[in-house]
Amino acid sequence: PDLSKIINLYDFEAVARTTMDPNGFAYYSSGTEDEITLRENHNAFKRVYFNPRVLVDVTDVDQTTTMLGSPAATPLYISATAMGKIGHEDGELALARAAGTTGIIQMVPNLGLFGFDEIVDAAQPDQPLWFQLYVNRNKEIVKRIVRAAETRGVKALFVTVDAPHVGKREKDMRSKFLAGRSDSDDNGNHGDGDKKTSALIDTALTWKDVAWFRSITSMKIVLKGIQTVQDAVLAVQHHADGIVISNHGGRQLETVRAPIEVLADVNAYFKQHPEILAGKQFEMFIDGGVRRGSDVLKAICLGARGVGLGRALLYAMAGYGQEGVEKAVAILKDEIVMCMRLLGVTSLNQLDESYVDLAALKGG
Ligand code: FNR
């Protein structure tokens, strides 16, 4: 359908489902095993209810923010997803260009199908970029990749910490089996996925490596894939600049909780123990299941600085390339303005936990 007929982010998914190569769609849409966490990522947002305030002058609404020191037109970013070309020939380049025109930040994937330099070249000269890293066993390779990112002006390094073993994504396995293709995964491995992944990803990565990253780069360091209060606290204690509370879009450990629910716990814990964050610049992000401006704002209410989108933007890209991603961001920006006005706020820093009711979140 014509792009003008698309009115929300679910519409892009419906288009991608019918127009994408079925194997490509299976790769994008798959979650682990029974896909309980994949569904829960969406459902948990719907169990958070708003407490709107009225009779506030909401004529001028400002949704701009900064994330890790970089300006952003709205508190969302494009999360790293491997193999963007599966959905569209322009892949990561389309995402970089759309991020530039819409003023949002792109987290460039370690395993994009375009080269890192090509992606950076597709971005505007002053466009802030982040880089997602899978930590290779070979620390010399890691150093080289990290230095290359720093040299090209990348602002922050997102170290993926939730993938010492690749989740069992059965839709993906079946589609490849039926197509007579070999296994592959988020890590860009072809052939025997598990074996190759353990060869690539350092399964011995630990908390002490955060200091090692600090020693090799001056970029901000963010841990992507934190899923508990305990690890959020450890991230602060190990001097990370931030965390992404994420379950990798339901593609790694099955039956973990939705990021919005974990965020609510982490936020409450940090509020009860203000000494943990005292004097620190520590930013929290979440990703997983975001389809609505209201989802984004719920996370902001619960202490997130920004929210990442994976599949929603991949589907927009698959159907319509750069323009589709631009339209998806425009839809979200419109939803965010509407939602802020109806909540009775004019800037993001006015939002806090008093604007949400969490009773149903835990009950679900
Ligand atoms: C991902 N994700 C991911 N994460 C990462 O750190 N490195 C990677 O290479 C990939 N690759 C990847 C491929 C595909 C097809 C998907 C769907 C996801 C996870 C991604 O960054 C993010 O955490 C989730 O996509 C967020 O969930 P939603 O927005 O897809 O629901």
Residue nearest to atom 18 of ligand 1 (CA): 81
Residue nearest to atom 24 of ligand 1 (CA): 249
Give residue 197's pLDDT.
Answer: 53
What pTM was estimated for this model as a whole? 0.95
Ligand 1 centroid, distance to 139 Cα (angstroms): 24
Residue 155 near residue 219 (C-beta atoms within 8 A)? yes
Ligand 1 centroid, distance to 330 Cα (angstroms): 21
**What is the residue-level pLDDT of the chain in tens, covering all 364 positions?**
899 999 999 999 999 999 999 999 999 999 999 999 999 999 999 999 999 999 999 999 999 999 999 999 999 999 999 888 899 999 999 999 999 999 999 999 999 889 999 999 999 999 999 999 999 999 999 999 999 999 999 999 999 999 999 999 999 888 876 665 544 455 444 333 464 554 678 999 999 999 999 999 999 999 999 999 999 999 999 999 999 999 999 999 999 999 999 999 999 999 999 999 999 999 999 999 999 999 999 999 999 999 999 999 999 999 999 999 999 999 999 999 999 999 999 999 999 999 999 999 987 6
Question: Among this protein's residues, is 162 annotated catalytic?
Answer: yes
Residue with tokens 């971005």: 123
Ligand 1 centroid, distance to 163 Cα (angstroms): 11
Task: Enumerate residues 6+ apart whose C-beta is below 8 A from 194.
Answer: 165, 166
Ligand 1 centroid, distance to 134 Cα (angstroms): 12
Residue 79 and residue 81: Cα distance in Å, rounded? 6
Top mutation candidate among 37, 43, 81 for ligand 1, by most atoms within 8 Å of CB: 81
* 28 CB near ligand 1 (under 6 Å): yes
CA distances from 73 to 59, 248, 291 (A): 18, 24, 18
Respond yes or no on whether ipTM tops 0.85: yes
* 167 CB near ligand 1 (under 6 Å): no
Continuous H helices in the chain = 9-19, 22-29, 36-46, 91-102, 116-122, 139-151, 170-178, 193-200, 208-216, 229-237, 259-272, 293-301, 311-343, 359-363
Give residue 193's pLDDT.
Answer: 42
Instruction: Pick the catalytic residue from 28, 248, 287, 315.
Output: 248
Give residue 189's pLDDT.
Answer: 45
